[in-house]
Structure formats: structure tokens, C-alpha cells
Amino acid sequence: MKNNIPKIYLILIISLIYISQSINAATVLADSWSNVVNGKCSDQTTAWWSSAEAIRITNNVLLYQKDCGGWTKNINMQLVLTDAQKTALIVDKPKNTEATIDNSACLYELLYLSKVYKAITSDSLKNVIKTSFTKGILYYLKAQYPNGGWPQFYPLKSGYYTHITYNDNAIINVMNNLRHVYLKDTYYSIILSDSIANVAKTAFDKGVNCILKTQYIQKSKLTTWCAQHDEKTLLPTNARAYELASLSGGESANIIKLLMSLTTQTKEIKRAIYSSVAWYDGVRIKGQRVESFTNTDGLSDLRVVLDANASDMWARFYTLTGNRPFFCDRDGIMKFSLAEIGYERRNGYSWYNTSGNDVMTAYNTWLPKYGTTILASPLQNTVFNSTDTIPLMAFANKTTGSTLKNFDLLIDNQTIQTSTTFTLKTPVTGLSAGVHTLIAKSEYTNGTIDADTCTIIVKAPNAINTVSDNNTKLICYTNSSNNSFNIDLQGTIIANIQIFNLHGQQIFNANPLKSSYYFNNNLPLGLYLIQVMDINNKTYVQKVLVNN
């Protein structure tokens, strides 16, 4: 059949097809690596995942993978590599430099490999991809600390990178990936051996235990988590200069949601959930919102304004002692107003969020299924002095299918508070020295009774004690069981710590360069003076009495 289409039109049609294909191909090259992995580019149809372009990118992912199994972060792995770049990556593989779980490194690469694996038919390429995927999962397992946490970089990189890192959901991403592996669900198309799956399950469970151990205790009450915790003491610690030890109103949300997602809900896990949700509920920021405006320099800027109709929001950082929202510039100095920090940090960091809404939504789904009567505070075997005020907080079970008749708090079988509400909070003072049993008991109209019990120890005020010089910025959290204590300057960097005995002799000297320090030397009986100097050469003093 004779083709009657004029030649000029054929050339035009062919040119348009070529241009169209070029534009579509460029979308993958021009977009972000995260969008490529998630299939958000316009040319990523189902067929694309087995295309030559997808295979080319797969080869890039294999080249970027270190011998340790990890990848570095913030790389657009879809870009075309020159021969020289490929050679450099091969040479760099055994060095294992900059392998990390930060900024979703590993998460993206594993998911991309899985999607290509599912789409292709070549057995040889499938084997190569599965080998790389397996190395990536084993990287997670190798990087885990014995205490269950993960550092930001592995092999370890000196500095704050060694801390247990919840920042930007690093550990939560790892744990969710490991859960997909041991459950052998449909998230990944690559199913690993039972032996690897079992080790992944063990690592995940260790991660859960680390989460429970790092939940911050504030005045005998569980709160939430810091973005990073010291890998040895498990205490909140600093990262970058503007990321001081704090309680996180951002990262904690996904930690809580992971705990809620567990199919096995122990009382310890439930207590962690109840307490952290209560913390989120108590630190809501009401009547304020963040708005964009043009400042006097003509630049787009951010400011906080009062607005009675504003939705609740949460700060990224809260102080460890008072739950006060704070902000910080690159000078590391804590501020309590967004306007007090410089333009670059004010606009270059996420200081506020709405993550608490996600927490409450998840909690309302979790509660009917797993809710239990919990005595959230104080914690089991907490030691108090007889002069202390003891905060009691308990939650009744909402899952019995019956009306709550009574919710009681008891001390040594004596009711101290009763209510028909599902939450009870009361401060208790004047308990005598000795061991006391606390009970939270909920009773329902159908006869159901649910209870939780804990034991606390009250001492006469002659064990470890702290005597402040009214300079409340320096706080020592003591542990009477081993005469240890944590020296905390509440977010301000400690440049030097000196400890003196009663005779004025210096018995300890350290330069921690972080806002808190765990002192675990077993001191003999006596009175000690703690002298702390911050990075601005300001001195703080507190006395500690050891008589245990």
C-alpha cells in the first residue's frame, strides 16, 4: 500500500516522537532520587522497571554500594556516570567511607532493587540484585550496637555520628525494613532465607528494647525521646551545634507509632505508649501559628503569631526538665523564641510540626484494641526520699465494653483518690520510709476489674542527696544504688567538670563538651562539690552528699 503522508510530515512526526521520548527520559534524570525510587516520575510506567534505563540505574546502585553493604546519603543515583566516575566508585568500595542510615540511605536503595527485581526476568541479573539486597540487610545487622541501637554511620565515624540516632527517623526506618524482612511480607519482592529472617527478628526486638531503655525519665515519669542518645549511657545528648539534648516533638512521633504497631503489647510497651502520648498531649502549643512574611530586608521569612483559631502544633525541641520549647542557632545557645535565632537557621530548619496529631490519631486506633489499666508513674522500684513529692499518674482500661464504675489509686491498700474518669493524676507527699505498694484499679459496671501494681522505696533523707546553691540550671540526677549521678546543664554545653571532696582536693576533672555527663565512679561516703563551667566560661556549683 502506498504511503500518501508527505515526507515533511513524516519527519515532523518522527521528530515529535523523539522529543517526547527525550522529555520523558529526562524526567528521571532531572527528578530526585526519592521520587525515582517511589515511581513518581512521569515516564515510570509498569514497563519502565524492566527497561534499559532502569537496569542502567540498577548498575549505578550496585556501584555505589560499599563492601560493607551500606550506601552513602544524598546521592542522585539515577544520573549517568562517566567511566572515570565508575572507576572511582569501584576503588572507593573497600574503603567503606560515609556508609550511613541517615537521610533514608539504604532504605531507598533496597526498595529500588526490590522493584527492579520484581520486574525483570533475567535470572542472572536477579541473582546479582538479590546478592546486593542481602548485603544491604546484613549491613543493618552488623551496624547494630549490642544495646540494640544504631549509630548514624557505620563503620563508625567520630563525633556525634556514633550516637544512637532517632533523628530524621533513621533507626525507625531500619527497624521497619527489618520487620518486612522477617515477616516476609509483600513490601519487598526479594525473600531472604529463614536464617537471615530470624536474625532480623532478633535485631528488631533488640531495637524495641533500646527504645524502651532510652525513653527519657523526668522526675520518675516516662516522657518521650531525644533525637539522639549517647550510645553508652543512653541519655539524651547533643548532635549538631543547634541540636541540643532535648525531648523531641518530631522524631518521637514515629517511635510511638512503631510501638503501637507491634502485635505483642507487653505492659512495658503499653506504659511507654501511655506515657509518651500523655507527654505529647501536655506539650501542645495552642493559639499560635507560623506564618511567612517579607522582612525589612525584602527576604521571605518566618515568624510566630498569635491566633486563637490556630490548630495545635508541637516544637521540634523541648527542654529536658521543664518541657519548654526552645530554639538554637549555630552558636549552640538555647533560645526560647524563634525570632531570637538568625535568619539562616530560622528558615533552614523544621522548628515546629504537627506530628502530635498523627500520634493522637494512631493512639485512638490503638487504644480500643490494646488499652490496659496502667500505672504510668512512678516507675517500678523508684527510690524517693521521704521529703519528696511523688507524682502518680494512671490510665484506666477503655476496652472492656462496659461503663467505668470506679477508677481508684491505692497506696498500701488504702484508697487515696477515686474517680469515674479514665485518667488520674495526683501528687503524693509525706510517705514514711519503707517499701510501699501502689495500685491503679479500674472497676466496671459489668463486674470486670483491671489493675496495675508497682512498688516504690521511700528513704529517710540520708542517702544520696543534692544540695543546690539556688543556681537551678545545674541539676544532678542521682542513683542511690551505686552512688552515681548524671550532671545536667539543661542544654548548655559543659566545657569542664571538676569534683572536690570535703578537704578541697580535686578528685575528678573532665571536659565532656556536651550538656550532660554520666559520673559512675563509686564514691566513698562524704560531701562533694561539683563545679561546672560552660563554654561561655560561666561557672555553676552544686553539692552532693553521699551517705549510703
The full 3-state SS of 413-480, as one line of letters, equals CEEEEEECCCEEEEEECCCCCEEEEEEEEEEECCCCEEEEEEEEEEECCCCCEEEECCCCCCEEEEEC
Pick the last residue of a domain from 406, 426, 459.
459
Task: Identify the band that residue 546 occupies on the pLDDT scale cut at 50, 70 and 90.
Answer: low
pLDDT in tens, 383-419: 888 888 999 999 999 887 889 999 999 999 999 999 9
How far is the C-alpha of 542 from the C-alpha of 531, rounded, in Å?
Answer: 7
Instruction: Give Cα 491 to chain centroid, integer Å.
Output: 18
Nearest 5°: phi and psi at 517? -145, 135
If you average pLDDT over residues 523-532, what whole number do you get?
76
> CB within 8 A of 23, min separation 6: which ones?
none
Say yes or no: 363 and 386 in one domain. no
The torsion region of residue 393 among left (phi > 0), alpha (psi -120 to 50) and beta comes to beta
Angle of helix 123-143 relative to helix 52-64, nearest 10 degrees, comes to 30
Q: Which three cell numbers stand for residue 188?
A: 519487598
- Does the residue 271 lie in any domain? yes
What letter would DSSP give residue 399? -
Q: What is the mean pLDDT of the chain?
A: 89
Query: Has residue 146 got a pLDDT over 70?
Result: yes
Cell of 318: 523541648
Own/partner long-range contacts of 289-297 (Cβ < 8 Å, ≥24 apart): 289/313, 290/338, 290/351, 290/352, 295/343
246, 236 contact by CB (below 8 A): yes
Residue 466 has pLDDT above 70, yes or no: no
- Same domain, yes or no: 268 and 126: no
Per-residue pLDDT, averaged over 198-210, amounts to 98
Give the domain-ending residue among 164, 194, 214: 214
| 24 occurs within a structural domain | no
Residues 55 and 178 in one domain: yes
Residue in the block written with cell 566560661: 537
Among 214, 234, 263, the domain-final residue is 214
Residue 483: the pLDDT is 63
Share of the chain above pLDDT 90, in %: 72
Long-range contact set of residues 168-174: C-beta below 8 Å, sequence gap at least 24: 168/102, 168/103, 168/104, 168/251, 169/251, 169/254, 170/101, 170/102, 171/101, 171/207, 172/254, 172/255, 172/258, 173/101, 173/104, 173/106, 173/107, 174/101, 174/106, 174/107, 174/140, 174/150, 174/207
Instruction: State the total domains in the chain.
Output: 4
What percentage of the chain exceeds 70 in pLDDT? 89
Mean pLDDT score, 355-379: 95
Is the domain of 173 the same as that of 210?
yes
Q: Which amino acid is at 36?
A: V
Q: What is the dihedral of CA 11, 17, 21, 26, to 10 degrees?
A: 70
Q: Is residue 246 part of a domain?
A: yes
pLDDT over 90 (residue 360): yes
8 A C-beta contact, residue 68 and residue 155: yes
The parent domain of residue 401 ranges over 372-459
Q: Are residues 138 and 161 in the same domain?
A: yes
